[in-house]
Chains A and B, each alone.
Chain A
C-alpha cells in the first residue's frame, strides 16, 4: 500500500475502512432513493415529470448530454498519454478511461429513462433513419464504448497479468479473467499492448470529438425550429465544454484517489499541468460562449434574443449566474490563477469539483431555455423545473456511476503498478 511496499502487494481501494463504509452508505442511500423514484417513473410513466408538449426535454436529457460530455472529455485527456505520449499523464490515463466508460453507462441510463417507451430501447438498432443525428449517435455511442473498453484493456492488461501471476485471492482471479487469456508479462507483450492502445486511441479521438460529443451537439444544432441551437458554433462549444468538464473530473479523481486509495503524495507537477489545461479550457469555453451569444443577440432573431433573456434574467437565471458563470467559470479561474494554489491538491480538487458542478448548469441552460418560448406565436409558453421524481431518479443514476467507479477503483489496477514511469 505505502510507497515503500513491494508493488505486488496489490491492494487498491480505500485506505480507511471507516471512509469506505461511509462512502458506500452514502451511495446506498442515493441508490435506494433513486430506486424508489425509478419505480414511480415506471408505474406513473412520463406523467411523473414536469415535462409538457411545449417543453418535451428536461433534466434527463440535460444529464444525458452532461455525462456524454464528461465521458468524451475524460477520454480526450487519456489520449494525451497514450496517443500523444505526454509521459507525465500516464499516471491518470486508465483512471480517465475508466471514468469515461462509467460516464457513458450513466449517460445511456439517462437517455433510457427519458424514453416514453422504455421497453422499446432496442428499436434504434432494429430500425434506422439515415438523416437522423440521434440514429447515428446511438451507434456512435456503442462503437465509442467499444473503443473505450478496448483501450482500457490494452492499457491495463500488463498489470492485470502481473497481479494474476503474483497476487492471490479474488482480485488475482478477477484480474486473470480480465486479461482474456493473454497473460504474458514480457516486455514484447507490453510493447504490443501499447501499439494497439495507440491504434484504438487514434480511432477513438475522431469518434469522440466528431461523432460522440460533436454529434450530440449536432443533434441539437440541426433543429432549425429552435434557432438558439441552430448554429454552426454550437457543436464546437459542446466539445469544448465536454473537454473542460472531463479535465476537471480527471483532476478531481486524481487528487481524491491518490489521497484516499493509494495514500500517496500528489504529484505537484502533474497537478499543475492538469490545472493549467483546465484554466485554458475554461478560457476557451467562456470565449466561444461569448462569441455565440454576441452573434445570436446581434442577429435580433426574436426567438434567440428572447431565449438569451430567459437565460440571463428569467426565473431560472440563478442557474446561469451562480452555477454556469460562478461555479463553472469565475470561481475555478480564481483558484487556478496562482501557481501556489495550482500546486495545492485540495484547492485543485475544489476547482475541479466546481467546474464539474458548473457544467451541469451549462447543460440545463442548453436544453431548457429554448423550449420555454413556443415555436409559434399564439401557442402556450412553457415553464419547467424537474419534479422530485426527476431529481431522485437522476441522483440514483449518478449513484450507479459512483458505485461502478468505486468498485472498479477497488478492484482494478487503475494506477499503473510502477507508478506511471516507463
Chain B
C-alpha cells in the first residue's frame, strides 16, 4: 500500500500506530481491580505473570505453583469449586504432578455453565446436549414476497451440511404462471417442515426419527435401518436417501469435512458408515441453533425472506408473522401442522 496517496474514501487508514490505539482504549488495571473486594496486588501480579506464560518466559506449571495457594486464600470456596481450564480433564495443558497438587476442582468449564441459572433469552452456548435456551419450539417463516428465487439458501445448505450428490435438504420449487408478457413466477423454498404431526415419525419402524422438544424432527443415523418408509410418508418430499455418492470428482477430499448434524460429529465421510445408507433431511441446522446461530439458509438469504425463531413465544417475530393473515402452511389439509410458515 502506498502511503503517499493519503487515506482513500472507504479505506481504513492504518498508517497510524494502531497499537497505541489499543493502549488508549485499555482500562487502567489498578483502577479496575480496586473496584472489587479482592486483593489488587495479587490480581496485577497474576496478570503480569500470565502474560509471561503466554510469551513463553514462564511455564504454566511454575505459574500455578506460585499462585495456587494465594488464589485459594483470596477466593476460598469459589476458587476450590471452579474447574481450572488448564487442568480440564479433556484437554489438560499442565503436567499431572502440578495439576494434582492444585486445590481447585477438576471438570469442564461446560459443566459450570450447565449449573448456571438460565436467564431469559440468553443463549448459553457450549452446554453439552442441551438445546439453546432449552424451551423453544423452533419455527421458520419464509416471506415469499421477499424471495427472489436466487437459490442461495440451497447452496448455503449444501455448504453448511456438506450434503452429498442427490441430497439437498433445501430446494426452491419454482413455478411460472401466465403467458408472455404477463408472466409471474412463484418461488417456494422447501426445507423440512419439522411438522407438529410428522408422518415420517409415525411410520419409522425403529423410532430412528422422532420429534425433539425443540420442535425439530431428528434422525438418529445410528439407529436408522434405511428402509425409506419415511420418504414414502413425507408429503413434502423433504427426505433424501444417502446413496453413498461423493463430490470427489469435483473437489479433492470432498468427504474430509462433515457437518456435525444434530450435534454429533461423525468425522470423515466413509463408505458404508452412517449417514451413508440412511435417510437424511434438514435439521433446521440444529448444530448451529445449539451455538446460538441461525440456520445457514436463514443467515444467507439475500432478501431477508427467511426468519427463524421461537413459535412458543407469542411475542417473537416469527410468532407474529405466523399469526398474520398472510401466513399459510404447505398442504395444510394433510394435518401435519408444519413449523415452517410462508407469507403470501
Is this pair of chains taken from one and the same complex?
yes
Q: Which residues of A are interface residues toward B (Cβ below 8 A)?
A: 45-47, 51-54, 56-57, 111, 114-117, 120-121, 123-124, 126-129, 131-135, 137-138, 219, 222-226, 371, 374-379
Select A378's contact among B174, B206, B208, beta carbons within 8 Å: B174
**Which residue of A111, A126, A129 has the most chain B CB atoms within 10 A of its CB atom?**
A129
- Answer whether residue B59 sits at the interface, using C-beta atoms and an 8 A cutoff: no
> How many Å from the CB of A300 to the closest CB on chain B?
15
Q: Is the CB of B229 within 8 A of A375?
A: no
Please, which residues of chain B bring their CB within 8 A of the CB of A133?
A: 203
Q: Give how many B residues have a beta carbon under 8 Å from the other chain's beta carbons.
A: 47
**Which residue of B228, B236, B272 has the most chain A CB atoms within 10 A of its CB atom?**
B228
Q: Is the CB of B205 within 8 A of A375?
A: no
Given contacts A45-B244, A129-B205, A132-B202, contact A117 B232 (CB under 8 A): no
Q: Is the CB of A120 within 8 A of B232?
A: no
**Which residue of B174, B227, B229, B244 has the most chain A CB atoms within 10 A of its CB atom?**
B227
> How many Å from the CB of B204 to the closest CB on chain A?
5
Could you mark each residue 152-183 of chain B with 1 if its beta carbon is under 8 Å from any beta carbon of chain A, else 0? 00000000000000110001011100000000
- Within residues 220 to 234 of chain B, which ones have a CB less than 8 A from any CB in chain A? 223-229, 231-234
Please, which residues of chain A bring their CB within 8 A of the CB of B190?
A: 376, 378-379
- Within residues 12 to 66 of chain B, which ones have a CB less than 8 A from any CB in chain A? none
Select B166's contact among A53, A120, A132, A223, beta carbons within 8 Å: A53
Could you mark each residue 214-249 of chain B with 1 if its beta carbon is under 8 Å from any beta carbon of chain A, else 0? 000000000111111101111111011111110000
Interface-facing stretch out of B81-89, B273-281, B292-300, B318-326: B273-281
Could you mark each residue 236-267 of chain B with 1 if its beta carbon is under 8 Å from any beta carbon of chain A, else 0? 11011111110000000000000000000000
- Answer whether residue B92 sits at the interface, using C-beta atoms and an 8 A cutoff: no
Q: Is the CB of A56 within 8 A of B276?
A: no
Please, which residues of chain A bring their CB within 8 A of the CB of B173?
A: 376-379
Complex Cα spacing A47 to B171, Å: 22
Please, which residues of chain A bring their CB within 8 A of the CB of B208?
A: 123, 127
Please, which residues of chain B bring their CB within 8 A of the CB of A128?
A: 205-207
- Answer whether residue B332 sits at the interface, using C-beta atoms and an 8 A cutoff: no
Complex Cα spacing A226 to B171, Å: 21
Complex Cα spacing A111 to B205, Å: 13
Complex Cα spacing A57 to B241, Å: 11
Q: Is the CB of A131 within 8 A of B202?
A: yes
Please, which residues of chain B bring their CB within 8 A of the CB of A224?
A: 199, 233, 235, 334
- Answer whether residue B77 sits at the interface, using C-beta atoms and an 8 A cutoff: no
Select A117's contact among B188, B203, B231, B278, beta carbons within 8 Å: B278
Q: Is the CB of B202 within 8 A of A225?
A: no
- Answer whether residue B74 sits at the interface, using C-beta atoms and an 8 A cutoff: no
Q: Is the CB of A46 within 8 A of B241?
A: yes
> How many Å from the CB of A132 to the closest CB on chain B?
5
- Answer whether residue B271 sits at the interface, using C-beta atoms and an 8 A cutoff: yes
* Closest A residue to B222 using CB positions: A120
Please, which residues of chain A bring their CB within 8 A of the CB of B272?
A: 45
Q: Is the CB of A56 within 8 A of B228?
A: yes
Complex Cα spacing A56 to B229, Å: 9
* Closest A residue to B234 using CB positions: A225
Please, which residues of chain B bring their CB within 8 A of the CB of A134?
A: 203, 205, 227, 229
Please, which residues of chain A bring their CB within 8 A of the CB of B241?
A: 46, 51-53, 56, 116
Q: Is the CB of A377 within 8 A of B175?
A: yes
Q: Is the CB of A115 within 8 A of B223?
A: no
Complex Cα spacing A129 to B167, Å: 26
User: Could you list some 6 contacts between A and B, CB below 8 A?
Assistant: A53-B239, A117-B226, A117-B274, A120-B226, A121-B225, A379-B173
